[in-house]
Structure 1
Amino acid sequence: MDMMVRQSNRRVACERWKDLVGPRIKKIIDKIGQRATEYRAHRAGEFIFQITGCGEHGSKHAVDLGLHTCTCKRWQLSGIPCVHAVCALRFKKQEVALYCHDYLMPSTYMEAYNPIIYPIAGQEDWEPVDYPIAPPLFKQQPGRPKMKRVKEPGERNQTTAPPAPKEGKLPKTGIKMSCRVCGQQGHNKLGCPITKAAKAAATVSP
Structure 2
Amino acid sequence: MVYFRFVEKIKQESVYCYPQYSGNYTYQVRARGEEQFVVDINRRTCGCNKWQLIGIPCVHGMAAILSTNHNPMNFIHFRYKKETFIHAYALIIYGINRPKMWPKSNEAPMECPDFRKQRGKPKKKRNLQSDEVRIRNTTKLRRNYIVVTYRKCGKEGHNIATCDKRGGGTDSVATTEGESQADGGSQAEHEDGQPRGGKRIRTQK
Relative to the length of structure 1, the TM-score reads 0.46
- Give the number of the structure whose residues are more often helix, by fraction: 1
- Give the number of the structure whose residues are more often strand, by fraction: 2
Which structure's relative contact order is higher, taking Cα pairs within 8 Å and 6+ residues apart? 1
* Greater Cα radius of gyration, structure 1 or 2: 1
Relative to the length of structure 2, the TM-score reads 0.46
